[in-house]
Amino acid sequence: MSDPSNDPVFYFDFASPNAYFAHRIIPGIEARTGVKFRYVPVLLGGIFKATGNQAPMIAFADVPAKLAYEYKEIERFIARHKLTHFNFNPHFPVNTLSAMRGAVAAEAEGVLTPYVEAIFHFMWEKPRKLDDADVFHATLTEAGLPADRLLELIQTADVKARLIANTQLAVDQGVFGIPSFIVDGELYFGKDRLESLEPVLTARSA
């Protein structure tokens, strides 16, 4: 039996469309390599604050050509991987604190996989304002998740502390943005790095 602690780590925050893109192409990589990713929820805002980093739309606000190029690369990525269900969330930026605490709670309850799928779906495919408490509760219920239990857990000190600890661990490992991946102690940043990461995972599983 493989040791889960050796699985490649995917640090994610639902706030990032690039994390959604990574989530959508990871299953293909897992199927081809036989390696499973371990999803670890973090707070992108916390990472930015700790590292002095900024979102591209802020960092490149005074370089319009650079920002336009970033959007063009996103369009190319979507086309290359046929991510036709993607829809930019009109409520962006969405505060994902509750959703990320919910991911920690979902992991504790053994429902992280369906939780992640549901929240990414309703953030970036059929977009909703998930920082609205009523919308969030209705979305969890619609997805067949234990909404009341998860919402109870996200208020607990243990869940709040775990999310903070996850975020700090990511920063300690050199993470400065999302999506980030840790493989054998090495950082790979960005959805595009998955293409260069796949041969590494293939070699690992050979």
Q: Where are the domains of the chain?
A: 4-205
Confidence category of residue 206, pLDDT binned at 50, 70, 90: low
pTM, full prediction: 0.93
How many other C-beta atoms lie within 10 A of the C-beta of residue 80? 11
Q: Please provide the CATH number assigned to the domain covering 4-205.
A: 3.40.30.10
Supply φ then ψ for residue 3, to 5 degrees: -90, 115
pLDDT tens-digit readout, 10-54:
999 999 999 999 999 999 999 999 999 999 999 999 999 999 988
Say which amino acid occupies 151: L
Q: Classify burial at 175, counting beta carbons within 10 Å of its beta carbon; exposed 0-12, middle 13-18, buried 19 or more.
A: buried
How many CA atoms are closer than 13 Å to the CA of 102, on its beta-carbon side?
29
Helix axes 157-172, 97-108, angle to 10 degrees: 100
Confidence category of residue 56, pLDDT binned at 50, 70, 90: confident
